[in-house]
Structure 1
């Protein structure tokens, strides 16, 4: 007889009507029962009452359900434990917190072996004492293999352990991410305390694990919080930048200021890039910003981010970074015999489609021409096309951003101060210098816009109106549209009630000045109120009037643009509250920080 069966305590078989003090107690009971019987357990779907509290759940055999293979190579299928086993207990949660078994199924459709229960995932347990010894040994330089062998010897053999070497290895890998270097925790605490003493509006919050170690951190100064009130319409979020030797991703929330410059709106350090970490970070940021969610956000294709955004920012427009998607073309189709032609075709569809109907038609034709029907990646992109292809998203305001390059440019901004070997203690000291330079850069741009003005391109009255309102960097973009009028002409005008519909032809030129293609665009203009809308959607997307609208305004002799077409976010003549906030990242901050350490 198996010695483990002999020594295992006798656990009462679950029956209907058994009552336990809490959900934890019934889980421990069923886990002990399954260990002695020889199967693993998992928690199935739950049901909540009208008050949002859990009223019902199931604990089932881990072999429940049917496995659906996602592997692409049928010659090497992935193993599965699923046998659609129906063994389970259904549990009702009472109002007083006690739980009761309401139905029981004890029959399994697979063999069970109590002697091998310790290998099942639900029965692998690293208790607090084991975790602490593993961490101490790791810090002392003792290899994991030697640490694990010491546990085997103490237990009297592998059979008496509740965990295996892989569990230990996974724990050490995780703890290394969470473990701060000498002085790091103190440096973070002192830095945040110092910042709050300089500005009561400085906000920070820690996320601690079960052993009270720092897992995630978020902070934002008073200037970031005030600036968000002006620039909360669109932000980018990207975690591809690693700032320190513990592989904790730097997670900046980045917006666009009135110069088109990246502006930091809060940031965090994460130990993991799973949905729970992002949910914690987004909730921390939302609390910091007084519950005001951004109107739009740009991220990469990270599924964990998408889940967190749906949970925390359900009403926020979510867009995927175009650059992150298009850069994968060589990896996905580089081996295709017609790769160059395929790449050019896809770029033309993505960047040059004028209408959704045109985009869909050309996409289907591309799939057919290049025989891409079985491309899972391409099919998944098409399903999510409303989140990344410009023609699908250009009707919404994105401050002109097609990618998360704002986050990447902010990362590049920090590159002068931090690197892969930077400790957290060093990071918080150098973070001051980076933010101070960014603030100084904005102040310099403000001065240049107030103290100097750009020359008009052609003296057109509308151009003079914007010259007096826009910051210089935004004005350069507008001047480019004024110059672009040279390559546009109005070919036809139709009347639709009070609205005139203009057919505008634009010649798209190449780098050498040759005409690459002609593009036809419709501009709708209503004289009453000077309402105007262009098919290219540049104003909706970027907040700056396009060359096609300027052509129509010139034809209709409109010399003054209505205020609704001059966005406040690009103006230089407005006083923004955050700009009057004192810069707390001055020289004595870093000096005080060094002395305190």
Structure 2
């Protein structure tokens, strides 16, 4: 949102300043007339403009300063005040970052967890009002606009404490809503069902394609593409909005995807292309619904992905090892390093080699952070130990070692990832919103809802990293302070892990090659057999280490930090700070033809206006309900306003205004295209549900919770049932399986797929 909200001048000097109406998109000073500031934006207000402003009471002054703070990008709190006979003679409002955290909280002994990040930076921004006996009002006598910290963007104001309080009107609605026994979903269910039927009356595929075409009008960076089969059924569908494409420009160096999610009525495979942002969160780059999982389909998907991303090929990609997918990556993503998921490899090792201790040994070889020669030696020792030289699966997976062995992948940037678990977690997150019986339009709507909430969490992390700073420890304090101000909150934690490792390293030898080039040999305390080589160029301030941790993770390793100490560097060189992990990772990115600003659709703009009006009407109803006179005045005013708005509605309709909901798509949806039929429900080679297949070893054998015997559960236990019915005579003893069966009453417990739970009990 633009911070340049227009300040509206009110001609009534005697009305209290009420800034609860200072809404985004229509910020108002309300109340008193303030000469010289009409038509100014909040950011343009100067000390001269604000000094001398008059308010009826301290609450009005607070509302003004709080609204000003929201638009500028900081939070405020009330400070000292002077009260005489119940009358406030002076009040001071300060920035929430004023002052310092008390030392007693910073110097606690026996601390169990790290201290919370700092939120106070000795900021001097303030507004102070003083009572004027002549005017009988509070007048601004002191105003400081400068801050000692970074200001947050206006959209992030919802995360600030002073801007997220409930209004009195909202508080008054809480008991009213609690007393309503009818659930909202019951009231609107029939309406929603009717809307869904009307929406797809022309066909599900036509509706979704028209919907995506209309998205381009509101979001010029929106991209979609589809294919049809020989019978004109919708086959594959790919889409990505401008935010996802912009994210790929910033964080598209590593790409992760798989195709195990199938949550839609047509059973199409959902592939979500994901990566990791500067907060180490999973972000979505694009999505595709595939009719099948053949090499041709994957090739079309990857080519379309490159088309959407302006031809940018990722540096690295991680998949679950699908053969068709691997062939397509090799053909389309030229020069891209393909890594196989370590979790799938470990699982396959457990399923193919039934030897105790083998999986642990296999994982050690896979994650060995050494040279290829060291890996080969460890691999041969493992084969000899378990006599697996002729094992078919072992030989097959060994042939692909350059795609999964850490020794061969060292130095390739994977953002700290070794598996496709980010895809799994993203699928699981989306499954909370998606439904198996969703048609296309419902599926896209639910998916966008999940995506918007995921992005809301990202915005929260942006805010936290922007307005807070870590508590800096004494060890290498200058480095910690520098990186605390540079890295995001999550990235700083990762950096501190390497910083902590530095304490066990020391420079054992230094060789000087010329005046500026130094080569340092690093050794580890109590482990002299370990050594690393760090090359440092003092002229260009560049460092490289033989461990290749910086190249693989993007964070300077402990060996490099040990060299920085020896070289007497006060700050870590800029060449050793990877921008994608910093607070400003998105700055300076050329988006080419992508939309750099998010366009607001007419429907969404209408929703925003409706929400703002509802908020204002809540306050109107709250004030009008306090007295009979106020109630009557509100009724008269509402009737007049409704009549006025009805005349405006009939006379003209604004361009972006949305009227009553229509059962037909908007006119802008009527695109000329060859008729397309709904997709056929297909069976792909992936999991038929959102549950992955398990190996025999993973399936847990269940015994009865009562008698602890196999073959049935507590729900169908004949002994327990007979005891409840009193049907077991004392002389019967043990029950045999070939005796007469009895009827088991149906249970309210959910059914399971296990055959043993469908068995009838015998007596």
Is the TM-score greater than 0.5? yes
* Unmatched 5+ stretches in structure 2: 1-199, 608-657, 666-763
1:506 and 1:358 map into 2 onto residues whose CA distance is 22
Larger Rg over CA atoms:
2
- Structure-2 residue corresponding to 1:571: 582
Candidates 547, 554, 560, aligned match of 1:543:
554
Shift of 1:387: 1.1
2:388 and 2:509 map into 1 onto residues whose CA distance is 42
Matched, 1:215 2:215: no
Given that 2:270 and 2:289 are in contact with CA atoms closer than 8 Å, whether structure 1 keeps it comes out as: yes
- Structure-1 residue corresponding to 2:500: 483
1:571 and 1:291 map into 2 onto residues whose CA distance is 25
- Structure-2 residue corresponding to 1:357: 373
Secondary structure in structure 1 of the residue aligned to 2:344: helix
Given that 1:216 and 1:270 are in contact with CA atoms closer than 8 Å, whether structure 2 keeps it comes out as: yes
- Structure-2 residue corresponding to 1:436: 452
Secondary structure in structure 1 of the residue aligned to 2:432: coil
Matched, 1:553 2:564: yes
Matched, 1:499 2:509: no
- Structure-2 residue corresponding to 1:526: 536
Secondary structure in structure 2 of the residue aligned to 1:588: helix
Secondary structure in structure 2 of the residue aligned to 1:478: helix
Given that 2:415 and 2:554 are in contact with CA atoms closer than 8 Å, whether structure 1 keeps it comes out as: yes
- Structure-1 residue corresponding to 2:345: 325
Given that 1:502 and 1:524 are in contact with CA atoms closer than 8 Å, whether structure 2 keeps it comes out as: yes
Secondary structure in structure 1 of the residue aligned to 2:479: helix
- Structure-1 residue corresponding to 2:360: 344
- Structure-1 residue corresponding to 2:383: 367
1:545 and 1:192 map into 2 onto residues whose CA distance is 44
Deviations 1:473-509 (A, max 9, x none): 11111112222334x13272253744333232278xx
Secondary structure in structure 1 of the residue aligned to 2:524: strand
Candidates 220, 239, 247, aligned match of 1:227:
247
Shift of 1:469: 0.8
- Computed over aligned residues only, the root mean square deviation of the Cα atoms, in angstroms, reads 2.8
1:240 and 1:587 map into 2 onto residues whose CA distance is 34
Shift of 1:309: 1.2
1:463 and 1:231 map into 2 onto residues whose CA distance is 25
Deviations 1:504-561 (A, max 9, x none): 2278xxxxxxxxx998240323252443333332110010112222223223322222
Shift of 1:434: 1.1
Given that 2:512 and 2:519 are in contact with CA atoms closer than 8 Å, whether structure 1 keeps it comes out as: yes
Given that 2:240 and 2:287 are in contact with CA atoms closer than 8 Å, whether structure 1 keeps it comes out as: yes
* Unmatched 5+ stretches in structure 1: 1-179, 508-516
1:343 and 1:570 map into 2 onto residues whose CA distance is 34
Is the alpha carbon distance of 1:449 and 1:343 closer, same or farther for their aligned partners in structure 2, counting shifts above 3 Å? same
Shift of 1:368: 1.5
Is the alpha carbon distance of 1:573 and 1:205 closer, same or farther for their aligned partners in structure 2, counting shifts above 3 Å? closer
Shift of 1:237: 1.6
1:274 and 1:181 map into 2 onto residues whose CA distance is 32
2:455 and 2:266 map into 1 onto residues whose CA distance is 28
Deviations 1:57-97 (A, max 9, x none): xxxxxxxxxxxxxxxxxxxxxxxxxxxxxxxxxxxxxxxxx
Q: How many residues get paired? A: 404
1:596 and 1:432 map into 2 onto residues whose CA distance is 22
Matched, 1:445 2:445: no
Q: Given the two structures, how large is their TM-score scaled by the length of structure 1?
A: 0.63
Larger deviation, residues 283-292 vs 550-559? 550-559
Secondary structure in structure 1 of the residue aligned to 2:215: helix
- Structure-1 residue corresponding to 2:434: 418
1:519 and 1:585 map into 2 onto residues whose CA distance is 64
Shift of 1:246: 2.5
Given that 2:256 and 2:422 are in contact with CA atoms closer than 8 Å, whether structure 1 keeps it comes out as: yes
Shift of 1:416: 1.7
Given that 1:506 and 1:519 are in contact with CA atoms closer than 8 Å, whether structure 2 keeps it comes out as: no
Task: Give runs of aligned pairs for residues 27-46 of structure 1, distance below 5 A.
Answer: none
1:242 and 1:490 map into 2 onto residues whose CA distance is 53
Given that 2:306 and 2:313 are in contact with CA atoms closer than 8 Å, whether structure 1 keeps it comes out as: yes
Secondary structure in structure 2 of the residue aligned to 1:408: helix
1:233 and 1:580 map into 2 onto residues whose CA distance is 20
Larger deviation, residues 523-532 vs 472-481? 523-532
